[in-house]
Amino acid sequence: MQSNWKDKLYVSGYLLTTNKDVVTAEIGIEWDKWQIDSFGCYHLYTHPSQTVFSIEHKNKKFLIIGHAYNPFTMEWSESDILNHLAELFDTTEYQDYFDQLTGLFCFIVIHGKELTINTDCSGLLPSYYAKIDGQVYCAAYSQMIADICNLSEDEYVTQMKRSRLFHLYGWYLPGDLSPYKEVKRIVANTEIRYNGDFVCRRFYPRKKYQVIDESDYETTIRKIGEIMHNNMLLILKKWSNPQISLTGGMDSQTTLACAGSEQNQFDYYSYISLPREATDANAAHYICDSKNLRHTIYQVETDKTKLSDFNEVDQLVERHYSYLGKGNENDICKRISLNKQLTCDVEVKSWVSEVARASRYKMYGKKKMPKLTARRLTTMYKVFALNRKDAIKTDKAFKEYLEKTQLTKAIDRLGYPWSEFFVWEIVFGCWGGLTLVGEHMLSNDITVPYNNRALLDLMLKTPLEKRITDQVNKDIIREMDKDLAGLNVHIINGNETKKREIAEKLYFEVHSRIPW
């Protein structure tokens, strides 16, 4: 597929605003190609590749931007889901139904000037919001709001970017921050309401955390497999040519297993852009070959001098990331190559499962986490070493996040394991969303079957020791595809070395205790 990269600016993006004059902003957007809708005093602008569904019910406008499907009710039409949401809104059943939805979407309710804004399970289609000069904005890219309003970067962010360690763990910010003080991110598991001012409300978790009994474990594994299988069935209904990006890792093998008897209705692919990726790609090919499934390995051209559009895509990705950093050269080459080679209309990506895989317990060699504090979140977020001023400012950002989203109160009251919320709401909620809309969607559309709150809640309630050892995923694979389980393929992330584990554990223990 050839691409006009200019058309990819803010790909899959949207902007909801009271400012009716945004089309006069000369920021490189070809507004005449964007879809424009009006809902009372609000105007919605959506990228040509983005979808919008809207209805009116009891004097309220209900919108889904993006895609959604429900593996519990087997609804795959956004129109049906939107009608269901509208009927249940303001009832006690609404939140449970909302938690059942899978997809990448923003859900908005408009009632006069009032707004209610929700993201998908992990905020993989991001939502940033602001009120600037009396005008309200909500967009998938903070940079889009900054472009329109001519905002200046927050000094804290500018200083953070100067650290040579800032790039570690990816380009993203703590709490609900964007690079601009005026613009905030909607955190997963919370909603934003606007009625003159923005107010954040946490709606998950709502019930007391309780690990399932051993006697119920197998039943739970079957239930998880059933939900995932239903998601895979719905993906086949929604797209004509879905392809699963497959590696030898645990997450994508679980996705493959849960496709069940429909496995041969999907195509599968891997890519090689670095030598270490060959191990994963070859493992994926071995799996597919063993199961007589169609699998393609794409070779990525990594010599940027052979890619005439490298600089253009590099600048585009940097802008999508709100200038938090320059994209990795290899990743830019990957987007260009895959955009030309991929034939699918959607990639089935196996992200978000890590929320329930006790990743921070593994990283720091823990069987029990200490109490949730802002400093411990700061320590998980980045390596600050001697950079104490930025560490203290980051503590403040996380403290405000804990208070604003009421996460500490929810953890203390309901007992959920807190480190999973760091992965859920900060890593995937910020880094994941930025990476998908900022970079990956330049190549292809994406759906994530794990991105379902009710599913993750069920996975989180399996025993911690089984989550730490990946036994939960292994058991799902065994339950859903015994042949795949029998292949016993498990490729370990090349970054997960013993030396790195020791260094990260030491840093966590020491930095969490430093009083300044």
The domain locations on the chain are 216-355+444-495
pLDDT for 80 beyond 70: yes
Interstrand relation of 295-299 and 267-272 (parallel, antiparallel or unpaired): parallel
pLDDT for 2 beyond 80: no
Residue 39 CB neighbours (<10 A): 16
Task: pLDDT band for 1, please (50, 70, 90 cuts).
Answer: very low
Any idea what the Cα angle at residue 457 is, between residues 362 and 441, rounded to 5°?
80
Are 175 and 188 in contact by the 8 Å Cβ rule? The answer is: no
pLDDT of residue 158: 97
pLDDT tens, position by position, 471-513 = 999 999 999 999 999 999 988 765 667 888 899 999 999 999 9
Distance between CA atoms of 453 and 355, rounded to whole angstroms? 11
pLDDT of residue 495: 62
- Quick one: residue 28, left, alpha or beta (phi over 0 = left, psi -120 to 50 = alpha)? left
Residue 208, classified by CB atoms within 10 Å of its CB into exposed (0-12), middle (13-18) or buried (19+), is: exposed
pLDDT for 275 beyond 60: yes
Calculate the alpha carbon distances from 85 to 28, 99, 190, 293 in Å.
36, 11, 17, 38
Residue 297: beta bridge partners? 270
> Which single residue is written with the structure tokens 């909603």?
191
Phi and psi at 34, nearest 5°, equal -85, 150
Task: pLDDT band for 326, please (50, 70, 90 cuts).
Answer: confident
pLDDT of residue 112: 97
> Which single residue is written with the structure tokens 């994926």?
284
Are 343 and 184 in contact by the 8 Å Cβ rule? The answer is: no
The first and second tokens of residue 118, run together, are 């929700």
The first and second tokens of residue 186, run together, are 């909607």
pLDDT for 349 beyond 90: yes
**Average pLDDT, rounded, for the chain:** 96
**Class at the top of the CATH hierarchy for domain 216-355+444-495:** alpha beta
pLDDT of residue 491: 86
DSSP secondary structure, 211-265, as one string: PPPGGGHHHHHHHHHHHHHHHHHHHHHH-SSEEEE--SSHHHHHHHHHTGGGGGG
Per DSSP, the chain holds a count of helices (H) and strands (E) of 20, 17
The first and second tokens of residue 263, run together, are 């496995």
pLDDT for 313 beyond 50: yes
Interstrand relation of 242-245 and 198-202 (parallel, antiparallel or unpaired): unpaired
